[in-house]
């Protein structure tokens, strides 16, 4: 599932390839991925020029300008398997391509999504601000103070805390696992009980992991590709995610997997020691 580094890579690609270009036509092949009326969607997007690309957490927004109307924003959520690519108009369509936005005569922006959890929605500036306000600070932009404040007094598992978009926007399963490993923190530790030293270490780990992943254009497991259709390069750098049973890159002990709130968590039992008090979970002890 695309997380902050993948969405940032797509937004950088859009800035390079789509900025300043006019959307000449819209074709919606699967209406389920567009929020609201299709007619209205087409009317709002067609003929407008893409003048900026913004991102907060995993949400993208393309600002669309028209001559005699207030700007509108195309809000894009890639969901589980959403892809946004620029292709030549004559290039064959891949299956599961749901929306085509013609960029000039020769190229088009294509939205493809196998699982169809992704969404495109046109909205006003106020609606965009409201959507962004519902998210916590962006995980790449937040200050240390914001991060420490948000941890204070929180219960539950730190892994779930890192993935809660209302507290911190941008992390999903991959980069939450990786950040906890880099910081040496067990995924079941309670956010409010982490020492100040470890909390600062976690803040720096999140930044370091995200910055590095953005540099390598993200991680591809199944479907994620950048705007040119290329996979990410971070996969080989993963330390714990999906490495169950493989040796820890730091100490050699096998990486373990536990399930927290229905999601797999991968960690090294030696490098991420279990604190004395952890979040209580149903089921067998881990």
Binding residues (CB under 5 A) for Zn ion: these are 248, 250-251, 268, 270-271
38: tokens are 């299709």
Q: Catalytic annotation on 2? A: yes
Shortest distance, position 210 Cβ to Zn ion, whole Å: 21
Shortest distance, position 251 Cβ to Zn ion, whole Å: 3
Nearer to Zn ion, 25 or 275 (CB): 275
3-state secondary structure at position 193: helix
Shortest distance, position 115 Cβ to Zn ion, whole Å: 33
Q: Catalytic annotation on 58? A: yes
Give the residue from 118, 116, 140 showing the smallest Cα distance to 203: 140
Whether 108 and 79 have beta carbons less than 8 Å apart is answered as no
Shortest distance, position 170 Cβ to Zn ion, whole Å: 26
Q: Catalytic annotation on 263? A: yes
Nearer to Zn ion, 59 or 271 (CB): 271
Cβ contacts of 210 within 8 Å, gap of 6 or more:
4, 5, 139, 140, 170, 171, 175
3-state secondary structure at position 242: coil
Query: From the candidates 193, 263, 269, 274, which is the catalytic residue?
Result: 263
Nearer to Zn ion, 43 or 270 (CB): 270
Give the residue from 160, 198, 178 showing the smallest Cα distance to 279: 160
d(CA 95, CA 62): 25
Give the residue from 224, 28, 51 showing the smallest Cα distance to 108: 28
Query: From the candidates 21, 48, 55, 58, which is the catalytic residue?
Result: 58
Nearer to Zn ion, 115 or 250 (CB): 250
Whether 53 and 11 have beta carbons less than 8 Å apart is answered as yes
Catalytic residues: 2-3, 58, 263
């Amino acid at each position: 599932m695309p997380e902050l580094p993948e969405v940032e890579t797509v937004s950088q690609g859009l800035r390079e390839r789509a900025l300043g270009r006019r959307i000449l036509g819209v074709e919606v092949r699967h209406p389920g991925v567009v929020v609201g009326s299709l007619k209205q969607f087409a009317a709002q997007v067609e003929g407008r020029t893409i003048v900026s690309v913004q991102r907060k957490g995993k949400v993208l927004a393309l600002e669309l300008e028209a001559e005699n109307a207030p700007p509108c924003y195309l809000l894009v959520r890639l969901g589980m398997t959403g892809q946004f690519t620029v292709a030549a108009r004559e290039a064959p369509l891949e299956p599961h391509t749901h929306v085509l936005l013609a960029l000039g005569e020769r190229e088009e922006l294509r939205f493809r999504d196998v699982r169809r959890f992704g969404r495109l929605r046109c909205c006003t500036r106020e609606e965009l601000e409201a959507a962004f306000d519902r998210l916590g600070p962006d995980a790449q932009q937040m200050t240390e103070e914001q991060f420490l404040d948000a941890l204070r007094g929180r219960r539950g598992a730190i892994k779930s805390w890192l993935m809660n978009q209302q507290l911190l926007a941008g992390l999903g399963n991959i980069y939450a696992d990786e950040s906890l490993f880099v910081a040496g923190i067990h995924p079941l530790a309670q956010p409010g009980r982490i020492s100040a030293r470890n909390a600062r270490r976690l803040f720096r780990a999140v930044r370091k992991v995200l910055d590095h992943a953005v540099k390598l254009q993200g991680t591809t497991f199944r479907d994620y590709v950048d705007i040119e259709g290329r996979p990410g390069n971070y996969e080989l750098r993963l330390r714990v995610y999906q490495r169950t049973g493989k040796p820890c890159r730091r100490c050699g002990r096998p990486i373990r997997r536990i399930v927290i709130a229905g999601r797999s968590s991968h960690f090294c039992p030696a490098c991420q020691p279990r604190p004395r008090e952890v979040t209580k979970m149903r089921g067998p002890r881990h």
